[in-house]
Chain A
């Protein structure tokens, strides 16, 4: 038995229709992908922000340090 034979749907239309439960099945999977994306992307985005912020801080710190030493 090949993989193709055990697919439960005989056409793409049937697959999208999900036996009349298209809304229920597809909205749950859509929600899953949304949550999955949010909970991976946001931490990565935040990491970039933190590092950018830190860099800005350390530059400011260095400048103040040089100002103090030069004055």
Chain B
């Protein structure tokens, strides 16, 4: 277990392994995205209240749900950095922050466009929307903290601490709709029956889109991590050999 752990922490090992994984993530991602989007746009029946705007859900919900994974991911990576000083963990933490900002921004923007007609407003300072916006600013904070500190060791530590603290906000986002009254509706519970609210014809394509977007997250994170490895390990012999071979 410990051997495996330290091996995984080796950038070279991760680079080689992730290179072999990538096709097995990219192919299902592409397939599920095509199936999910075609299904969401053409085959999902319009909602009895919201009509065709229900199709926005198939973008909004997957991005909003994966956005909540960034702070826990960065916190775990940060803790590993602080305790075991594993280089790879800090590389993942570094590339996760900007990606998280993109994902959070898309969740906010798609929600805003959805709400503009359905709720009658682009924005409202309710618990869910405000805490999600806070997450966006926290991620911008992590990114700027890293670029502001020149000492990369100190930057890694500071970002790790901020990421661990930022995890609290994830709980706030998640439970905001239950703790307080908000304009945003709570999470849906899906039904296995065809004759109930949220039947399979509504949630099956949603699950497909969620898996597709999770794979997209994994692919994008791995691609950026590999770049980070090449940059930081550029003096290592294996990177120089790899560059020569290109």
Binding site for B on A (CB under 8 A): 3, 6-9, 15, 18-21, 23-25, 27-29, 31-32, 35-36, 38-40, 43-44, 46-47, 50-51, 54-55, 57-58
Chain B residues touching A, range? 35 or more
With A and B bound together, what is the CA distance between A58 and B226 in angstroms?
20
Query: Is B46 interfacial (CB-CB < 8 Å)?
Result: yes
Pick from A24, A55, A58: contact of B56, CB under 8 Å: A24
Residue contacts A-B, CB under 8 angstroms, 11 given: A8-B44, A15-B41, A19-B46, A28-B114, A29-B55, A31-B106, A35-B103, A35-B106, A40-B216, A47-B230, A50-B227
Chain A contacts for B223, CB-based, 8 A: 40, 43-44, 47
With A31-B110, A44-B223 in contact, is A18–B55 under 8 Å at CB? yes
Q: Are B243 and A25 in contact (CB under 8 A)?
A: no
With A and B bound together, what is the CA distance between A9 and B208 in angstroms?
22
With A and B bound together, what is the CA distance between A32 and B111 in angstroms?
12
Chain A contacts for B226, CB-based, 8 A: 43, 47
Interface core residue of A7, A18, A43 (most chain B CB under 10 Å) = A43
Q: Are A28 and B60 in contact (CB under 8 A)?
A: yes
Q: Are B51 and A35 in contact (CB under 8 A)?
A: no
Binding site for A on B (CB under 8 A): 37, 41-46, 51-53, 55-56, 59-60, 63, 99, 102-103, 106, 109-110, 113-114, 116-117, 216, 219-220, 223-224, 226-227, 230-231, 234, 239-240, 243-244, 246
**Given A28-B59, A46-B227, A54-B243, 20 other A-B contacts at CB below 8 A?**
A6-B43, A7-B43, A8-B43, A8-B45, A9-B42, A19-B52, A21-B52, A24-B116, A29-B55, A31-B110, A35-B102, A35-B103, A36-B216, A39-B99, A39-B102, A39-B220, A46-B224, A47-B226, A54-B234, A54-B240
Q: Are B59 and A51 in contact (CB under 8 A)?
A: no
With A and B bound together, what is the CA distance between A21 and B54 in angstroms?
10
Chain A contacts for B99, CB-based, 8 A: 39
With A and B bound together, what is the CA distance between A21 and B114 in angstroms?
9
Chain B contacts for A32, CB-based, 8 A: 59, 63, 106, 110
With A29-B59, A40-B219, A40-B220 in contact, is A24–B113 under 8 Å at CB? yes
